[in-house]
Amino acid sequence: MRGRWLRLSLAVPVALVTLAVFAQSSAASVGVGVQVGPVRLGTVAHRGESYSLPRLYVVNTGTEAEAVSVRVERLSHGPGLVVPPSWISGTGPAVQLAPGGSARIPLELAVPEHAHPGGYLSDIIVTGSPAGAASTAHIGVAAATKLEFSVSSAPAQASTALISPWMWWVLIGLLVAAVTILGARRFGLRIRIERESPHRPAAGQGDSRG
């Protein structure tokens, strides 16, 4: 009987410790949030060009540090061509977020030469996993927002500055002035100005002496 009470007295503390560990582990959570508005390119893209997309806002809504990764996948329904994942790339290092921390992830769009013109629609999926977790672990949460842009059928135009007609006249005037000054210095052209004194005696008159 005494041995039975001893085993029972030892089992109660062990059960309490196990329950405390389980409660602590279950209280820890992993969560990630992403901006509500879509990531939308503000201009029409051209084939063979690269563009910086608006930065993607993400936040760690869990209680543990997380490693955030981004991928492109079509989830939304609607008109538009599917965005190939190879067109979108991150331009910064991997994002590590502390609990409650947030970041803006830079993304870049590279449109290949063979891209079909038209509107494109896909989703950017943000996945948060516990920081330092083993590569074999598949624990994680995800959130998504839309990705939208259009590709033009016209080739990219080289950016050239347009000069107003009056600017051409100003440039021509400056050029003529520069040529005149250089020519005068080269050929030694000089202009001499003489001033006649008003007290100079008239011709044929001299001093009269007695």
Residue 102, domain member (yes or no): yes
Task: Count Cβ atoms within 10 A of the Cβ of residue 60 and give its class: 0-12 exposed, 13-18 middle, 19 or more buried.
Answer: buried
Looking up residue 55, the CATH number of its domain turns out to be 2.60.40.10
Tell whether the model's pLDDT for residue 56 goes beyond 70.
yes
Please tell me whether residue 178 adopts helix, strand or coil conformation. Answer: helix
Which one-letter amino acid corresponds to residue 88? I
Asked if residue 133 belongs to a domain, the reply is yes
Confidence band, pLDDT 50/70/90 cuts, at residue 199: low
Lowest mean pLDDT among 8-17, 50-59, 76-85, 182-191: 8-17
- Tell me, yes or no, whether 113 lies in a domain: yes
The predicted-structure confidence for 106-131, as pLDDT tens digits, reads as follows 999 999 999 999 999 999 999 998 87
Residue 94 domain flag:
yes
pLDDT given at position 131:
78
Among 54-58, 175-179, 203-207, top mean pLDDT goes to: 54-58
Q: Mean pLDDT: which of 19-33, 132-146, 173-187 is highest?
A: 173-187
Question: What is the pLDDT at residue 171?
Answer: 78
- Per-residue burial over 183-209, b = 16 or more CB atoms within 10 Å of its CB, e = otherwise: eeeeeeeeeeeeeeeeeeeeeeeeeee
Domain containing residue 94: 28-151
Q: Is residue 178 part of a domain?
A: no
User: Average pLDDT, stretch 27-39?
Assistant: 87
**pLDDT score of 98 more than 90:** yes
Residue 114 within any structural domain of the chain? yes
Could you read off the pLDDT of 141-173 as tens digits, one per residue? 899 999 999 999 887 664 434 455 667 677 788
Structural domains in the chain (count): 1
